[in-house]
Amino acid sequence: MKLAAREVEGFLRKPPANLRAALFFGPDLGLVRERAKAMAKTVAPDLTDAFQVATITAAQLQEDPARLADEAAQISMLGGRRVVMLSGLGDKHAKLLADFLSDPPGDALVVAEAGDLSGRSSLVKAFEGADTAVAVACYADDPRVLAGVIQGMIEEAGRKIDRDAVDYLVEHLGTDRMITRGEIQKLLLYKGDEAGNIDLADCEATVGDSSAGSLDDAAFAAFGGDIAGLTEALSKSEQAGESPVAILRVAQKHAQRLHLGVARMAQGNSDPKFVAKSLGVFWKREDAFLKQLRLWNNDRLLRALDYLTQAELDCKTTGMPSEAATGDALLRIARAAQVGARPAAGGRR
């Protein structure tokens, strides 16, 4: 099944009861993930429930192809349907998914995420050709849609925003949905409980060139494997009174940009410098960003995002000092980057 762009939002709100699988793909990985989660929540409102939700990465699927059918066939211990989440798929998984969709076991809903695939993609065709599956393309937000996303997030948080502030955000935010949401969350965190509308000054303080300081230093150091630089950046951030959660949010944004950059580079037809510029990377950071594109892959970046998300949760819900939770997560990422920089046996990476 194939959907027109105008049909997607309604389909996500109320998918057909016989839907067994959905593929979300495209250059906007933030929107891919957002829509995949929205679809999965129509069956499993709590995506952290291990009894109702199974997650399989592309690497895990490659190692154990039978796991997809096994997870889909399992019966939920608490009743109801299960969800199987697949991430990082590509055309090399097309035959496996086509075989699965021809006669899917059990009644689980399979929700798959992929990068920027063409309309001729064998994976896309596998989903479009199945009666109980759908393929949904996810493209970057245009200014009108982006303004709506910004307004929606602000209103959902119970706040109001001035018109010129929305215009500023539309101009300065990238077109990736995940990055946009990360920036708006940072803005809301900055505003806190302060009364009044979010105004232009608030946006200028949190989004734009002013963000290229110690917070970015910490993110770049972590994902570049520079432990000494990370320690120095965290110390400067603490001295400047920066919130540990704000540090984590900037690191999340950086990871999301790398994630999108890796996906675009995987297509094999993008100039690295053009990719960096299209993602809004500050020109002085471009060389470091390009080096990190070579250090990280899709699966490792998703794990890094999990570290950062868990650290933010720890900051808000546990007795663990926020500085310690933040430093530990970034240090784990820096060590992972160092591992990625080491040449493997035979001179290969």
Residue 287 in contact with residue 340, Cβ under 8 Å?
A: no
Which token pair is 125?
A: 């065709």
Q: Which amino acid is at 267?
A: Q
Is the model's pLDDT at 88 over the cut of 50?
yes
265 membership: H or E segment, kind and range: helix 244-266
> Minimal CA–CA distance to 240: which of 208, 204, 207, 216?
216
| Per-residue pLDDT tens over the stretch 51-86 | 899 999 988 998 999 999 999 999 877 778 999 999
Query: In the chain, what are the domains?
Result: 5-137 (3.40.50.300), 143-341 (1.20.272.10)
| Per-residue pLDDT tens over the stretch 137-163 | 887 666 777 888 899 889 989 999 998
More confident residue, 284 or 246: 246
| DSSP annotation of 158 | T
- Positive or negative CA dihedral for 29, 32, 38, 40? negative
Which token pair is 88?
A: 């990082």
Rounded Cα–Cα distance for residues 165 and 313 (Å):
29
